Amino acid sequence: MKGKKKIVGLVIYFILLVIPIYWMLNMSLRSNADILASFALYPKDITFMNYMKIFTDSSWYMGYVNAMIYVVMNTLISLTVALPAAYAFSRYQFVGDKQMFFWLLTNRMAPAAVFALPFFQLYSTIGLLDTHIAVALAHCLFNVPLAVWILEGFMSGVPREIDETAFIDGYGFPRFFITIFIPLIRAGVGVTAFFCFMFSWVELLLARTLTVTEAKPISAIMTRTISATGLDYGLLAAAGILTIVPGAMVIWFVRNHMAKGFALGRV
Amino acid sequence: MSLSLEGITKKVGREIHIDNVNLSFEAGSRNVLLGRTLAGKTSLLRLMAGLDRPTSGRVLANGEDVTGKSVRKRSIAMVYQQFINYPSLTIYNNIASPLKTARITKAEIDRRVRATAEMLHIEGFLDRLPSELSGGQQQRVAIARALVKETDLLLLDEPLVNLDYKLREELRAELQDIFEARQAIVVYTTTESTEALMLGGNIVVVDEGRVLQTGPTPEVYHHPATTKVAEVFSDPPINFLKGTVRDGTGRMGRNIVLPLNKHMQSLTDGDFIFGVRANHLFVSRRSKEDVEIPAKVELTEINGSETFIHANHNEIQLVVQENGVRSVRIGVEIAIYVNPSCFFVYDEAGALVASPSPEDVRGL
């Protein structure tokens, strides 16, 4: 009896969660006229018009390409910087190490809007505005500290004796780090990459401020559908569905390690 | 090669972990570092290996100062108390890893890995990952990795302590044979005096970061230079009874007369501490010479085929190690018997005055 109640509860909860996404899918498969004309629980005349538009109009699909480019750049930069930093925090003691470690996390305490103006000014001065690297670098402000925290947790779970054994065996540091150490924390690297990807993928404010046309991401482009002729519901819904897909795919890959990632590797 | 430590001191913050240690080891020697937990055994090993840098003092290998030399460039191997293997590599690659960094051909690596694996009876698991093996097998892999490269210095930090009793016995016997065939300096740390005795060779008794006594293991066992050494090198702990010698008569504890024969003949008047190991105390009379100590039983522990009886004589704790399983009721007054020729005699400062000759003690 109790098990059944639990299942019913879960089903209700799941339905509540899925309704908005389902509604978006529903709208994305209908034409604008249809959406405005009648209320329908499911699309009666399925049309892929909206998706066709996104896949054929370069001003639309380039939004995805741009977002992908800077997200991947950001993930790579964050990992490259955070891996050695996390190793240092996990293995060495130095003056102010604890304070510095905490300070890193405080970087995440400020809202992105705080940094939008300084970034805009600085980047326009050195001509970085409207480039992919500009957004990638701006997102590092938030992603590098997070990556250091998560990776440090995973690295501290690896006994220090493994490092020592490798040095005794005669490994140089770079070789040890790449061939022995990183494989040991590959779940952590995966989870970190996921968090960097996710943050960078959904972040709108900095991405919109720092880009004009060349590097404009999809989330910024979606706001274009509000025009003099009104809201293009169907197109917006289709773009929304397509925006969810990459995130969902990445989550699928790291689903088994997510909980540990949320606990910053300290489980 | 020879290794020597000269005036090694290691401080961490304000704490002194190792205090002015001078030691030297010869090639092909087996050395046991005996001490309790936190005595500084591991710290000493790490300093010998070059994993840590001493605060002061020098480490010499073949007379050459290697104090600051990177552990990578030294010829050492180490086995830790925890089972340390590379979890992402197969057993084969784990064992091969020290060879891969040296310039050795693939065929030679293969031959040596297989030979070492066979020596440690893990040849059947070469394709597995460490996590797929039992604890004992994992430690065998770690030992194999340490042995595969013929290093000058082989350090083992309580390698058997995390294994169950039977595995420990088995591996200890095998290790003795393996060490026998090596030219390396073997340094083995342990907290157990029985293990130290089984391994033989030379012993270094360490306590609180200081070296208390060095010498051949049986020699140190039979003549522990101070009460502290006797404590460390006895398991269960050695029993001490305060006593005096006046006009050629020895008395100890609550006025028990101690005949001064054999090694105690030459004792002059004064206050002494008489020490006797638990395995020389008995609950029944075994010879005419035996001294009787009345005591009250406080606890009996049955440890496999032995029984430890903790008893109280004159507010002094005594431990009797008796063979076989015995049940003695708690609170009962019993008599403990000991042959006087088993007593170590220490002066009040704890320095050895007289020790029983091993011949006299044998068979008691």
Per-residue pLDDT of chain A (267 residues), as tens digits, is 667 888 999 999 999 999 999 999 998 998 888 888 888 888 888 888 889 988 998 888 898 999 999 999 999 999 999 999 999 999 998 899 889 988 888 887 888 888 889 999 999 999 988 899 999 999 998 899 989 998 999 999 899 999 999 999 989 899 999 999 999 888 889 889 988 998 899 888 888 889 888 888 888 888 766 666 667 888 888 988 998 888 888 888 888 777 777 776 665
Say if A87 falls within a structural domain. yes
- Residue A160: closest C-alpha in chain B: B84
Chain A residues 168-227 with CB within 8 Å of chain B:
168-172, 180, 183-184
Nearest to B49 among A168, A180, A183 (CB): A168
Give domain status of residue A63, yes or no: yes
- pLDDT 10s digits, B165-205: 888 888 888 888 888 888 889 999 999 898 899 888 999 99
A179 and A240 together in one domain:
yes
| A241 Cβ neighbours under 8 A, 6+ residues apart | A24, A25, A28
Encoded tokens for A15: 């339905």
CA-closest candidate to residue B50, choices B20, B21, B64, B70: B70
Q: CATH number of the domain at B236-361, out of 3.40.50.12660, 3.40.50.2300, 3.30.450.80, 2.40.50.140?
A: 2.40.50.140
Per DSSP, helices labelled H in chain B are 41-49, 91-100, 106-119, 135-148, 165-180, 193-199, 217-222, 227-232, 358-361
Q: Are strands B344-347 and B270-276 parallel, antiparallel or unpaired?
A: antiparallel
Domain assignment present for A267: no
Name which of B78, B82, B87 is nearest A168 (Cβ-Cβ). Answer: B78
Q: Are residues A40 and A55 in the same domain?
A: no
Distance from CA of B200 to the nearest CA of A (A): 27
Residue B89's closest chain A neighbor by CA? A180
* Residue A163 and residue B64 in contact, taking contact as beta carbons nearer than 8 Å: no
Tens-digit pLDDT profile for residues B234-265:
988 899 998 888 887 888 888 888 888 778 88
Looking up tokens 């977002």 gives: A67
At the second CATH level, the architecture of B3-225 is: 3-Layer(aba) Sandwich (3.40)
Predicted local distance difference test score (pLDDT) of residue A265: 64
By residue range, what is the domain housing residue A16? Answer: 1-47
pLDDT of residue B9: 93
> Are A233 and A143 in a shared domain?
yes
Model confidence at B358, pLDDT cuts 50, 70, 90, reads confident
Is the confidence at residue B101, as pLDDT, over 70? yes
Q: Report the sign of the C-alpha dihedral through residues B13, B19, B24, B29, in that order.
A: negative
pLDDT of residue A58: 86
Helix axes B91-100, B135-148, angle to 10 degrees: 20
Contact B102 A168 (CB under 8 A): no
Q: Which of A9, A29, A47 is the endpoint of a domain?
A: A47
Task: Determine whether the interchain pair B84/A162 forms a contact, defined as Cβ–Cβ distance below 8 Å.
Answer: yes
Write the pLDDT tens digit of every residue in B134-174. Answer: 888 999 999 999 999 888 899 999 998 888 888 888 888 88
Contact A168 B82 (CB under 8 A): no
Between chains, do B101 and A170 touch, taking CB under 8 Å as contact?
yes
Residue B96 identity: A
Q: What is the CATH number of the domain that holds A252?
A: 1.10.3720.10
Question: Which residues from B are below 8 Å from A when comparing CB atoms?
Answer: 49, 51, 70-72, 76-78, 80, 82, 84, 86-89, 97-98, 101-102, 145, 149
> What is the DSSP annotation of A188-243?
HHHHHHHHHHHHHHH--HHHHHH-SSTT--HHHHGGGGEETTEE-HHHHHHHHHHH
Look up residue B227 and give its amino acid: T
Q: What's the rounded Cα separation, in Å, for the pair B8 and A256? A: 49
Are A129 and A170 in a shared domain?
yes
Task: Examine residue A189 and state whether it is found in any structural domain, yes or no.
Answer: yes
Nearest residue on chain B to A175, alpha-carbon basis: B101
Contact B335, B283 (CB under 8 A): yes
Q: Say if residues B355 and B263 touch (Cβ distance below 8 Å).
A: yes
A-chain CB neighbours of B77 within 8 Å are: 168
User: Does A81 lie in the same domain as A24?
Assistant: no
Q: A165 — contact with chain B (CB < 8 Å)?
A: yes
pLDDT of A13 reads 94
Tens of pLDDT along B269-297?
889 999 999 989 988 888 888 888 999 99
Q: How far apart are CA B310 and CA A52, in angstroms?
A: 88
Distance CA A235, CA A27 (A): 9
Q: Do both A7 and A101 map to the same domain?
A: no
What average pLDDT does range B332-354 have in this prediction? 89
Q: Do domains B3-225 and B236-361 have the same CATH topology?
A: no
CA distance B130 to chain A (A): 13
Q: Is B157 helix (H, G, I), strand (E, B) or coil?
A: strand
Do B79 and B142 contact (CB within 8 A), yes or no? yes
- pLDDT score of A233: 85
The pairing of beta strand B344-347 with beta strand B352-354: antiparallel
pLDDT greater than 70 at residue B37: yes
A178 in a structural domain: yes
Q: How many helices (H) and strands (E) does chain B have?
A: 9, 21
Query: Out of A161, A169, A183, whose CB is closest to B98?
Result: A169
pLDDT at residue number A86? 95
- Please state the domain count of chain A: 2
Residues A80 and A115 in one domain: yes
